[in-house]
Structure 1
Amino acid sequence: MATEYNGTADPARSLALLWRTHERSSRKGKPDLSVDRIAAAAIDIADAEGLAALSMRRVAERLGVGTMSLYTYVPAKAELVDVMLDTVYGETARPEDVPGGWRARLALIARENRDLHRRHPWMLQVAAVNRPVLGPNLMAKYEYELRAVAGIGLTEIEMDFVVNLVASYVQGAARGAVDAAQSESRSGVTDEQWWRAHAPLLGRLFDPERYPTAAAVGSAVGESHGSAYDPDANFEFGLERVLDGIEAFLAARPRP
């Protein structure tokens, strides 16, 4: 998956656009346009065809307007990508009452973010932890995620570390899940079909006595998942271990 880092947009133009400080109305005689409509069309294109297919021209075609009319609202593609990111950040559920304490709250946040990346796999090409899109939806999302670990014994810096730890884990797991889904869609062959085709040949070539551990583990995984990799099972196992690590860290803190 190619990477196109965000953070290349002009800061003043990007922030003004993200916070809608001077959105202009459409010109007389033109279809009603807005930053929100343009961003929604761009997201649809990126979801369906990937970020490489996204251009101002493609967005204009989808909206049925001339390309130049978009520039009244969005200066360039770089700023448009920033708006797209902030728009999808507004999709995550943020219930205030989550039974189960901080573990349950962080688990919900992790699963919401995993699902967000699945719906919008192009996010993996542009979202950078060190250069976040400083829009209202990201700020609201960050506020909610910090509140999930507020009052549990962490310093303010540690709260940020914990939220970033979970986000980094989710991003890595989501990348594996997206890669698996894309390999299936592009090849037209499911993992189960792929393994059925390879298993008889591998059985004649593979010597279980030479690789006994791999043979035992591979057989167990295959029987359990029907493939060599189950994104959901791996995600849930890894998430619990991340939460275990946070819990151990909290337990080791000296009590006041």
Structure 2
Amino acid sequence: MTLYTYVPGKAELVDLMVDDVLVGRRLPGPGEPRPDDWREQVALYAARTRAAYRDHPWLCEVSRVRPPLGPGQLAGQEYLLSIMDGLGLAPRDAVAAANGIGTYVDANAALGAENTRLERSTGQSTEAWWHQRSSFWENYFVVDAHPAMNRIWLGGGFDQSAKAQGDAAYEFGLNRMLDGIQALVSGD
């Protein structure tokens, strides 16, 4: 309770905690060294953001709709905007691209954090959870109602672990988003 002598309430304390985690990403600021390629710069942002959520799974419980306007939040926004600005995007496009990347990375990082939280709280891995449901596919799955899903299944589309599928989906989506930004920049 002594913490509340320093902050007005729980909401403000959570804001400070969130921003402290965001500061911990240690994104390069203006004039600091960073990867040469803009896609590698985005990859750095993504990797550090995902690591922050992985190390602090409680972040998935905190709304990012109205983020705390502290040094960590602002550093992330500055970092992404500087990348998009460096590509020569118009200001509105730079904001849209930076916000799109940030939202995509945060949402996927939150899913990973939620998975970590569930595994810790239940003591059951996601793989074990899916394995327990194997009888569903054998006893209740209606092939005729899900022909695409069945075709993909038979073609090996679901042969990876749930984690590998999630990682592949994340990489696929991020790369397609960056491809779209690249096409905009190059006028394709």
* Map 1:115-154 → 2, pairs under 5 A: 115-129=51-65, 131-154=66-89
Instruction: Tell me the residue number matched to 2:14.
Output: 81
Change (3 A) 1:114 1:228: closer
Identity of aligned residues (%): 34
TM-aligned CA deviation for residue 209 of structure 1: 5.5
- 2:153 and 2:186 map into 1 onto residues whose CA distance is 36
Q: 2:26 aligns with which of 93, 103, 111?
A: 93
Between stretches 112-121 and 79-88, larger displacement belongs to 112-121
Q: Does the CA-based 8 Å contact 2:57-2:114 persist in structure 1? A: no
- 2:157 and 2:121 map into 1 onto residues whose CA distance is 24
Q: CA RMSD in A?
A: 2.6
**Cα distance per residue 1:112-148 (max 9 Å; x no partner):** 212222222333333434x332223332332222222
Change (3 A) 1:132 1:227: closer
Q: 1:247 aligns with which of 157, 170, 182?
A: 182
Q: TM-score, normalised by structure 1?
A: 0.61
Greater Rg over alpha carbons, structure? 1
Instruction: Tell me the residue number matched to 2:138.
Output: 203
Instruction: Tell me the residue number matched to 2:150.
Output: 215
- 2:69 and 2:142 map into 1 onto residues whose CA distance is 55
User: How many residues are paired up?
Assistant: 183
- AA aligned to 2:34 is D
- AA aligned to 1:133 is P
- 2:150 and 2:134 map into 1 onto residues whose CA distance is 12
More helix by share: 2
Change (3 A) 1:198 1:80: closer
Instruction: Tell me the residue number matched to 2:128.
Output: 193
- AA aligned to 1:239 is L
**Cα distance per residue 1:172-224 (max 9 Å; x no partner):** 2123223333333333332332333333552244354553321232352332x
Q: Does the CA-based 8 Å contact 2:50-2:106 persist in structure 1? A: yes
Q: Does the CA-based 8 Å contact 1:192-1:227 persist in structure 2? A: yes
Q: Does the CA-based 8 Å contact 2:53-2:112 persist in structure 1? A: no
Instruction: Tell me the residue number matched to 1:235.
Output: 170
* Map 1:106-121 → 2, pairs under 5 A: 106-121=42-57
